[in-house]
Amino acid sequence: RLFEIILPNKAYFGEKDFQQLQIVRKLVSKYNIPVTIIGCPIHREDSGLAMSSRNERLSKITRENAAIIFQILKAAKDIFQTKSSQETILFVENEFKKIPEFQLEYFEIADEETLLPVSKKESDKKYRGFIAIFTENIRLIDNISLN
């Protein structure tokens, strides 16, 4: 509805909220809305932590330690190249069991186009790993392209 009111030529959405980006793309396509949707890369702190206003609420030490989220995502990407989605998910779950200050809400691997969870990898599809973590009563989200 907003696009119909303001009639933009382009709209920019961050890949940090990748599911939202994909849903907007689908709606624009489905309803033939004449706007180009552009995905913007995730901005990261020097540590690798995905930038978010929520990061300001973290204690200094937790904010520093939260860099582990992106490190584990990068390791998961490497593992996904040769292992199944289930093995990759299990790796992430096990890594977070070692870090009691971070509670893993979920790590899911999904098809980038449909956002459906992957049961079996296919060579012609793009996949993305999605993660949500709780720490200090703050929910942190991130994602990574796995291809």
Report the pLDDT value the prediction gives residue 88, as an integer from 0 to 100. Answer: 98
> What residue ranges do the domains of the chain occupy?
2-40, 53-145
102-136: pLDDT as tens digits:
999 999 999 999 999 998 899 999 999 999 999 99
Report the pLDDT value the prediction gives residue 1, as an integer from 0 to 100. Answer: 85
Tokens describing residue 59: 């204690």
Q: Kindly state the greatest CA–CA separation across the chain.
A: 50
| Nearest to 70, CA basis, from 133, 135, 147, 136 | 133
Report the pLDDT value the prediction gives residue 51, as an integer from 0 to 100. Answer: 95
16-65: pLDDT as tens digits:
999 999 999 999 999 999 999 999 999 999 999 999 999 999 999 999 99
**CB distance 123 to 39 below 8 Å:** no
Per the rule left: phi > 0, alpha: psi between -120 and 50, beta: everything else, 137 is: left
Report the pLDDT value the prediction gives residue 36, as an integer from 0 to 100. Answer: 97
Q: What is the DSSP letter of 124?
A: T
Helix (H) / strand (E) element for 35: namely: none
Tokens describing residue 58: 């973290």
Q: Report, at the CATH architecture level, how domain 53-145 is classified.
A: 2-Layer Sandwich (3.30)
pTM of the model as a whole: 0.91
Report the pLDDT value the prediction gives residue 119, as an integer from 0 to 100. Answer: 85
**How wide is the angle at C-alpha 134 spanned by C-alphas 132 and 137, nearest 5°?**
140
